[in-house]
A and B are shown apart, each in its own frame.
Chain A
């Protein structure tokens, strides 16, 4: 084992592990977006901005009101879940029958609203929780606890969503409506209610991601732009609405970014990931795991 490790560059291994840890959070983000898309057939361009609002929520709850992290997290999750339901109620519901492009653009408008709301209300300073978790040293590798925690919590969150979707009536109804939205109304399922529940669930996942990301990154009004686009690309790469595909794509992307960043600047990691995405769109336009028709 020792000689095996020596063959590999230790930095390479560290980058690979960090990529896996990053992949967990990206997978969580992609899951929320996929859920909304799969069920309501709408892309929330402003998804990452919900995460940003959640991060601000955490910041104020912890720093301003002095709550402990573990008390603040559920409140922030509920807050973003409510925001998700509100977004559906105010913006998406009136547009359900309009062309998909209009829905996309309307959520683009919400992106501007949330971003500039944060600028006006919170200012453009970079803020952080002031919680610094220790760094785990494993041999010669350094892995931060915040990333491990994020990875673990993201996995648990995904398992909970999976159980909810497969074991409860509401979850089953959500999956059924994603398959056929006309027939479900005849089966006695209130589609409007399911949409609101799904939006709240998608919001809650954004809230959970916010609680985890706020440990690693400073929050500022434009923080959404640094991981929003990547989340969309992951969802498309995995096939919009395809949960397993999104999961696989998240880890692929995270590894490309992490390894690309190892050999050059972090930006080149992103460039590589984007280029890989465009390439994959040509090879597998319907998503990584889609069967070719």
Chain B
């Protein structure tokens, strides 16, 4: 598994566990707002959890327009 795929897998696992969605229902290209059923405040919560998990800073403006897990993983990967 590539580093990028590992990052994606960790995001999917974290999101599934925190928002109580079965992991098998989440795929890389899902719109996480829709799949997780979250609003912008919960998206901030997810951002904070990802920053803690990966020990990175992820400026929120980098997430403007990002709504799928794959692109989110790419944004995180470049900061690891």
Instruction: Indicate, yes or no, whether A interacts with B.
Output: no
> A residues touching B (Cβ–Cβ < 8 Å)?
none
